[in-house]
Amino acid sequence: MKNNKIKEMSSPELEKELSELKSELFKLRFSLATNGLDNPLKVKEVRKDIARVKTELRKRELKANV
């Protein structure tokens, strides 16, 4: 997911996307531990996407409090 796409989303959409990404990460980790993944780098990509979404949510929170 690109940063400009994240910036275009509203805060509720970002919250929803964050929960979806977390559940996807859980599924990826589970399948990696049990039978392996076709693309183990997908775990890294999802973790970075989670960080991007959290960063944008935090920026908006700080901007609202100023």
Say which CATH number the domain at 35 has.
Answer: 1.10.287
Mind listing the pLDDT tens digit of every residue in the chain (66 residues)? 788 999 999 999 999 999 999 999 999 999 999 988 889 899 999 999 999 999 999 999 999 988
Residue type, 48: K
Going by the DSSP 8-state scheme, the letter that residue 40 receives in this structure is T
Please give the pLDDT value at position 51: 97
**pTM attached to this predicted model:** 0.90
Closest to 11 in 3D by CA, of 50, 53, 46, 44? 53
Domain that holds residue 24: 3-65
Neighbours of 37 (CB within 10 A): 14
How many domains is the chain built from?
Answer: 1
Please give the pLDDT value at position 37: 84
The answer to whether 20 touches 34, Cβ cutoff 8 Å, is no
